[in-house]
């Protein structure tokens, strides 16, 4: 009987952690969104969808939504492209010596085919 319950017992701390720090705050925020509360008074009268009606009729909300969308559409691709450029540069600069050292120093690591097909950058001659 205990062997059938073991997976559930092992997962219980994780589920309780997620419930306490994720689901309970989401439910509390959803509850507060349907109430009118000034953070000082002990009463929190239920106003229903009035808060959402005020939100969606507000010009500032739609403006901030537009600015956020423009920022995300512009900044995310730029940052992604820059990260890919930096990563490809680092891979080229940092991994080439490792491949060259492995190819040149250890005969066990040599592939059974010409290495110039795999590591063309290692066989380039530099003129300085």
Q: Would you say residue 7 has pLDDT above 70?
A: yes
- Average pLDDT taken over every residue of the chain: 82
Token pair for 56: 């969606």
Paired tokens of 112: 């059974």
Distance between CA atoms of residues 112 and 89, nearest Å: 28
Tens digits of residue pLDDT in 64-103? 999 999 999 999 999 999 999 888 888 877 666 555 555 5
| Residue-level pLDDT at 113 | 54
**Whether the model pTM is above 0.85:** no
104, pLDDT greater than 70? no
Is residue 117 scored above 70 in pLDDT? no
The pLDDT value recorded for residue 74 is: 94
% of the chain surpassing 70 pLDDT: 72
Q: Which residue would you say has higher pLDDT here, 127 or 38?
A: 38
Q: Among 52, 75, 55, which residue's Cα sits nearest to residue 65?
A: 55
- Classified as helix, coil or strand, 12 is helix
CA distances from 30 to 41, 47, 58 (A): 19, 13, 20
Distance CA 58, CA 91 (A): 49
Q: Say how far apart CA 62 and CA 43 lie, in whole Å.
A: 30
Q: Bigger pLDDT: 107 or 96?
A: 96
Determine the average pLDDT of the residues in 33-42: 89
């Amino acid at each position: 009987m205990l062997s059938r319950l073991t997976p559930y017992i092992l997962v219980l701390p994780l589920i309780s952690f997620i419930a306490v720090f994720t689901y309970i705050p989401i439910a509390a925020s959803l509850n507060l969104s349907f109430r009118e509360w000034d953070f000082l008074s002990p009463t929190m009268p239920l106003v229903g969808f009035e808060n959402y009606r005020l939100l969606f009729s507000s010009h500032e909300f739609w403006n901030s939504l537009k600015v956020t969308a423009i920022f995300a559409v512009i900044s995310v691709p730029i940052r992604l492209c820059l990260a890919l450029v930096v990563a490809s540069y680092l891979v080229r600069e940092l991994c080439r010596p490792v491949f060259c050292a492995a190819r040149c120093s250890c005969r066990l690591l040599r592939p059974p085919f010409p290495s110039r097909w795999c590591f063309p950058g290692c066989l380039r001659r530099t003129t300085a």
